């Protein structure tokens, strides 16, 4: 995995945690074509080879914005063809984030508007600072959410709330986002990354194959009937029975020590 992206800072931390920072602070970390390509390359790469990583933390540079959405300065005067070509990049980027085999935690440190809100909603779960603000404002620009927002937000907050927020374009606070189910936890800005790393480290300490299989079972099972979802769960479970990690987990429990999971 390369770390010299133009618009995204990538830093590998201890315990297999990858910190990914949207890095266009002068533009409120707005999503331009290059950022879409950078995120697409990064997350598509993880789908091919996770390189021993166990958790991704996704945040924004600075203290004011996670991601202000699509870069409207870049989009100003775009032809229809250029707009659609750019959007194809954004669509592929979102699919790559959603398909990431390891957990993705969004640490939303400020404004998450439009595409920024969609990126946060594509994560497995979200921690947010008290100064975070969310909105899907696309209808105020004569478009609509097109990077998964109508689907991921509705799954997080429910159909009626999603319709209210998307059809009005109204912004909402981190506290509201937590109450409605989009955000898991709200923290003071200075505690956001610390708390996100704390939960990431806890996840990273669990069986890595177990975590990946459980994530897949939840994500795919929710798209199925209950009976089909339970059948899928058993297939995911059975994948764990012959692993070294399963044997190590039981052995460590009986020996009253912390397990040493190797992802095998």
DSSP one-letter code for 148: S
- Domain total of the chain: 2
Residues 168 and 220 in one domain: no
Decide if 222 contacts 229 (C-beta within 8 A): yes
Residues 111 and 236 in one domain: no
Q: Tell whether 262 is covered by a domain.
A: no
Q: Is 264 exposed, middle or buried (0-12, 13-18, 19+ CB in 10 A)?
A: exposed
pTM: 0.93
pLDDT in tens, 10-21: 999 999 999 999
Decide if 81 contacts 94 (C-beta within 8 A): no
pLDDT in tens, 74-120: 889 889 999 999 999 999 999 999 999 999 999 999 999 999 999 99
Residues 56 and 185 in one domain: yes
Residues 63 and 166 in one domain: yes
Report the CATH number that the domain containing residue 243 is assigned in CATH: 1.10.12.10
Q: Tell whether 215 is covered by a domain.
A: yes
Task: Show which residues are catalytic.
Answer: 118, 138
Q: What are phi and psi of 123, to 5 degrees?
A: -70, 165
Rg of the chain taking only CA atoms, in angstroms: 19
Residue 64: which domain range? 8-204
């Amino acid at each position: 995995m390369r770390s010299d992206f133009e618009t995204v800072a990538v830093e590998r931390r201890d315990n297999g945690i990858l910190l990914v920072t949207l890095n266009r602070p002068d533009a409120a970390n707005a999503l331009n074509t290059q950022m879409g390509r950078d995120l697409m390359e990064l997350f598509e790469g993880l789908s091919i080879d996770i390189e021993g990583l166990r958790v991704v933390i996704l945040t924004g540079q600075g203290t004011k914005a996670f991601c202000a959405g699509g870069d409207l300065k870049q989009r100003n005067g775009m032809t229809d063809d250029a707009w659609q070509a750019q959007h194809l990049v954004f669509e592929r980027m979102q699919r790559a984030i959603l398909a990431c085999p390891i957990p993705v935690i969004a640490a939303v440190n400020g404004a998450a508007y439009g595409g920024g809100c969609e990126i946060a909603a594509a994560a497995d779960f979200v921690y947010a600072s008290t100064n975070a603000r969310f909105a899907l404002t696309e209808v105020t620009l004569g478009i609509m959410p097109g990077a998964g927002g109508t689907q991921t937000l509705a799954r997080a907050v429910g159909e009626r709330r999603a319709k209210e927020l998307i059809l009005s374009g109204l912004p909402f606070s981190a506290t509201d986002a937590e109450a409605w189910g989009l955000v898991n936890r709200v923290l003071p800005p200075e505690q956001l990354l610390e708390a996100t790393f704390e939960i990431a480290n806890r996840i990273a300490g669990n069986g890595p194959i177990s975590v990946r299989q459980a994530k897949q079972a939840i994500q795919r099972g929710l798209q199925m009937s209950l009976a089909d979802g339970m059948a899928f769960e058993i297939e995911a479970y059975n994948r764990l029975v012959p692993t070294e990690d399963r044997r190590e987990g039981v052995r460590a429990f009986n020996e009253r020590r912390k397990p040493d999971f190797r992802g095998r």
